[in-house]
Structure 1
Amino acid sequence: MEEQERTILVIGSRLLAYPDDNFINEQIDIKDCINDNITSPELKKELNKALKSIHRLSPEELKKLYVSTFDLKAKHGLYLTAHELGDSSKRGAAFIRLQKIISDAGFERVDDELADYIPMLFEFLAVAPDSQDNDRLVRRLAVALKRIISSLPLDNPYYNILYILRKNVFPEPTKEEIAKLEFEREDADLEELPYPIMYK
């Protein structure tokens, strides 16, 4: 994975994490990250636009938007296996496999978030070495992102960062991958509240 793609993943992981009290203060750090690591003027402009569309809201407005966008609609949820399996009992085994991928790469989670939390997986891919397991994870995330974006309103402030991730980091899912996701998923009932994650 190219360094610029890793930078986009880091930015995406921050912007898509639950906006706690420290989130607004991270705006300067994210801007610096964009200016220091993104070489394409067009991409830099798109990322700053995505950042501005989110940070123009007050902290309380942003928290309400986050919950209404990602927690109340299954198609927009930020949990990978929920997109793949819905409420299937197979999710437990999927969590274990994801945690093993993370552990085998030499990382450990330092928060209580579920192993399939998409912003956390973005951060993991941004720092983990390339591997076959991670390549497969990229393709799985590509399908989930496609599903989220396909039903998210264009005027939702989170749309821009999701679209940038989809266009610049993740491959276009095949028809077979999309069909497999639709076939294996059971109706999901997502109630988890997401919180930001950090790796050490």
Structure 2
Amino acid sequence: MRLLRGKQQRDDRVVYLVASRVLEYPNPELLQSVPQLRQALSEQPDAAPQPLLGVLDHLAGQDLEVLRQTYVDTFDLSRKHALYLSYWTDGDTRRRGEVLGQFKHVYRESGFLVDTHGELPDYLPMVLEFTAIVDPVAGRELLIAYRASLELLRIALVEHSSPYADAVAAVCATLPGRSPQNRAEVMAMAGLDKPPGVEPVGLAPYGRTELPLHAVTGGSR
């Protein structure tokens, strides 16, 4: 049923927007926006956004270059913390190319043009921003469909003692049901009996689509 209660939708969109910002590569604009992001979270009536406050504290308390190095070490140098939702469920397989096409189809169906800035369309910060700003119903359906990916990412970041774990936990807290406690529970949630495989075929290249979602974010790496 493609309906959300208005109050829940407003609250969750704040969580999704703040999470999308803090999971991006750190830049001066992000650090300058920390007070505004903190204020937006403080105005929410429940505790769901609270984990994000810890991430904002982390960002506010570190030098930009330190934050960038931490981000690269966490997300760019290890597939264990991949920010691409379909990677967790489909790995580097032929099927993943089809799945990425489904993400692009959802963006097109929204009636908006979304500039992917060279990222694959299942990039979590992009999906979160789409959900917060463009189509909260279709975006939320993507998050629910890839709940297992979010939970596996959350668990991996917790094991890494990463402050970014709280950002993913905040997103998971907006979705139905409790979060799984371990990988076995996540795999059961996804109906998988083993991790996704790898095929030496590569993915068909995904060109840049013409959609303006990231115009409101900061610079890129």
Normalising by structure 2, what TM-score? Answer: 0.73
CA offset digits 1:54-109 (Å, max 9, x no partner): 33121111111111111222121101121121111222222221111011012222
Larger Rg: 2
Gaps of 5+ in 1: 190-196
Find the counterpart in structure 1 of residue 197 from structure 2: 186
Matched, 1:5 2:12: yes
- Map of 2:183 onto structure 1: none
Distance in structure 2 (CA, Å) of the matches to 1:163 and 1:118 = 13
* Letter paired with 1:178: A
C-alpha spacing 1:100/1:44, structure 2 compared with 1 (3 Å): closer
Cα distance, 1:121 vs structure 2: 0.3
Distance 1:87 1:96, change over 3 A: same
Contact kept? 2:54, 2:163, Cα under 8 Å: no
Q: Does 1:125 align with 2:131?
A: yes
User: In structure 1, which of residues 62, 66, 79 is the aligned counterpart of residue 71 of structure 2?
Assistant: 66
Structure-1 separation of matches of 2:193 and 2:147: 11
- 65-74 or 135-144, which moves further after superposition? 135-144
- Partner residue, 2:164: 158
TM-score (norm 1): 0.80
Question: 1:14-44: per-residue Cα shift (whole Å, max 9, x none)?
Answer: 01011123221121221232234x122x445
Q: Deviations over 1:133-176 (max 9, x none)?
A: x4541223311111112222363121222222222346447754
Match of 1:101 in 2: 106
Asked whether 1:27 is paired with 2:34, we answer: yes
How many Å separate the matches in 1 of 2:140 and 2:13?
13
User: What is the aligned length?
Assistant: 188
Q: Is the 8 Å Cα contact of residues 107 and 199 (structure 1) preserved in structure 2?
A: no
The alignment partner of 2:67 has SS state of helix
Cα root mean square deviation, aligned? 2.7
Q: Which residue of 2 aligns with 1:39?
A: 45
In the alignment, the residues of structure 2 paired with residue 97 and residue 5 of structure 1 have an alpha-carbon distance, to the nearest angstrom, of: 23
Q: Which has the higher contact order (CA 8 A, sep 6+)?
A: 1
Q: What is the alpha-carbon distance in structure 2 between the residues aligned to residue 181 and residue 102 of structure 1?
A: 30
